[in-house]
Structure formats: C-alpha cells, structure tokens
Amino acid sequence: MREKALHLKNLVKRFGGRTVVDIKDITLGTHGIEGLIGPNGAGKTTLISLITHKVSMDQGQILYYKDRKEIDISKKSLDEISRLGLVRTNQIIQDFESLTIRDSLLLSLATSKQEKFYNIFNEKELRKSTEKEIEKYLDYFHFENPDGHALSAGEKKLLDIIRCMLLKPKFLLMDEPTAGLPQNQTEKVIELMREKTNEEGMSILIVEHDLDLIWKVTENVHFMSEGQILIQGTPDEIRNNKTVITKYMGGCDA
C-alpha cells in the first residue's frame, strides 16, 4: 500500500441526457499497479478523460496527492495537470505527423527553460543530455528507424507510452496500452510498468479488456459498469465476484 494518488468525489458527466460517469467516492493509486475493468461503454475512457481534464466534468471534485500535499485539480487545465505528474496514455492512437520518433521523445524531455523562441542554439546540448535515456527506450523496444516516423499502429502506441514514461509521472493512467501490440512488446510494456512502480515509485492505473493481463499484473482492481465503480478488490476477489461475472465475464469480452 502506498499514499493514495487521487480522490474522486461526486464526479458526474453527462452526454446528451445520458449519465456516462457517476462516481460517488473513490480513492485511486493506493497500490503500485491498479486495474480498471468493465464492459464497453462503462465509461472507463471518459473517467480517465475527466481526471486529466481532456473533458470537463458536470459536477464533482478531484483531489490529487503529491509530496504529501492535497491539490484540487477539478478546475486545472489539461497541461497543468500533466505538469503536476498526472499523465495518461491514449486508447485511440495519437501522434505528431511532423515529428520523427526521436523528435517525439526529445519533445517529451524538453523543459520549459529550453523551449523558448529565442533559444534556438540549444539543440546539441539537449541531444547530449538526453541521449542515454532516449537510447535506452529505443533499444528496449527495438525501434528500427528512430529517425523516421512511427508507421505502424503498434509503433505509434509504443511511442505514446514512451513519451508518457519520459515525463516521469507520479501517476500514470494507461488506457488499453497493449491493444494492437504484438505479444513480445506487450511483455516488455508489462516489465517496464513493474520496473517503474517498484523502483521509481510511480503508480499506474491500467484500463484493459485483456483480463489475463489484469490478473497477472495488478494488485488492486476496480470494476466499472454503467458509469459507476461497483466493486473494488484484489484480482482474486474480483474474478470470483458474482456481479462481475454476470455483468462482464458472462459476456464474450477478453
């Protein structure tokens, strides 16, 4: 167990009359790797978008805990929240068409001090100081052509994950990170997640439909359905829970 990362209170989001998210009182981030599961349309991605403020809540409060401080991030902007160490990877593939793979990583690592319109001569220095870290990730995932563009869906997904990892977030929300990845890359992502949470104190919340992965990797699981988080518990507790079985696993997911 560790210090919680997020406390969601009375969080509600409606889309055109339908209540998509309705969370009364939930604490997240008390374990290294937590899972969020549920049928399609349960509101998982929307919940993540609400937390990072990609989408605005209709009502509620989100409290974020960092360095023993409680920060109300309900009204903070998308980029502010990211800078506070609360980062998410994307379920739908997102990329920068103009940037090569290496460019993308350099973008992640560039600090605001370096990103000034008058500061155009710092390139060599930036590359040198970030070389080790970037090479580590490029090698680890065997990117064939780091000075080219990410072409396949798998490459773009991995790039998305690495960009987020490079930000060294305190709490990382991963939205179906392994969907579309070949098995060996999935293994590597899992290994990376474990390393980060064990050795660097990161907390991760992973949304997944691959239940085997969830049972294997997570220490705590939240089950979400129709906008609400109904049950929380260890992987064993969840997989044997009657409600979860009927609402989710009785169907044909995972």
Partner 1 sequence: MELLLSGYMIYSLSFLLIYIALATILHLQFSITGIVNFGIVGFWGFGMYIFALLQLKLGMPFVLAIVLSCIITGIVSLILGSIILNLDDQAVLVGTLAFATIIEYLTTTEKWATNGVMGLGTIKMPFDFGPVTDLVFFLFILVCLVLLILYTAKLKTSSYGRLLLSIKDNEVLSRSLGKPTFRHKIIFFTFTCMLIGFFGALSAPLYNYIFPRMIGPGITFTIWIALMLGGRTRLLGGMVGVVATVGLFDYFIETVVPIPTEYAEMVPNFKFALYGLMLILILMFRPLGILGDRKREVKR
Question: In this structure, are residues 114 and 122 in contact, taking their beta carbons and an 8 Å threshold?
Answer: yes
Q: Identify the residue among 30, 114, 186, 228 touching partner 1 (CB under 8 A).
A: 114
CB 105 to partner 1: min, Å: 10
From the list 17, 18, 94, 8, the residue with the least C-alpha distance to 53 is: 8
DSSP H stretches of helix in the chain? 44-51, 78-83, 101-109, 123-140, 153-166, 183-199, 211-217, 235-239, 242-244
Question: In this structure, are residues 64 and 84 in contact, taking their beta carbons and an 8 Å threshold?
Answer: yes
Task: Closer to partner 1 by CB, 90 or 220: give it.
Answer: 90
Told to check if 90 binds partner 1 by CB under 8 A, we report yes
Structure tokens at 97: 């068409």
Sites for partner 1 among residues 184-243 (CB under 8 A):
none
Told to check if 131 binds partner 1 by CB under 8 A, we report no
Number of other CB atoms surrounding residue 213 within 10 Å: 18
Q: Per-residue contact track with partner 1, 151 to 190, x per CB under 8 A? A: ------------xx--x-----------------------
Residue indicated by tokens 């009359």: 17
Task: Choose the binding region for partner 1 from 35-43, 122-130, 147-155, 200-208 (rule: CB under 8 A).
Answer: 122-130
Q: Identify the residue among 67, 69, 117, 252 touching partner 1 (CB under 8 A).
A: 117
Q: Identify the residue among 94, 129, 152, 198 touching partner 1 (CB under 8 A).
A: 94
CB 54 to partner 1: min, Å: 7
Dihedral angle sign, alpha carbons of residues 142, 165, 93, 117:
negative
As a whole number of angstroms, the distance between CA 77 and CA 84 comes to 11
Pairing of strands 220-225, 171-175: unpaired
Q: How far is CA 251 from CA 38, 40, 91, 214, in A?
A: 11, 11, 22, 17
Told to check if 46 binds partner 1 by CB under 8 A, we report no
CB 104 to partner 1: min, Å: 8
CB 123 to partner 1: min, Å: 5
Residues that bind partner 1 in the complex, under the rule CB under 8 A: 52, 54, 77-80, 82-83, 87-88, 90, 94-99, 103, 106-108, 110, 112, 114-117, 119-123, 126, 163-164, 167
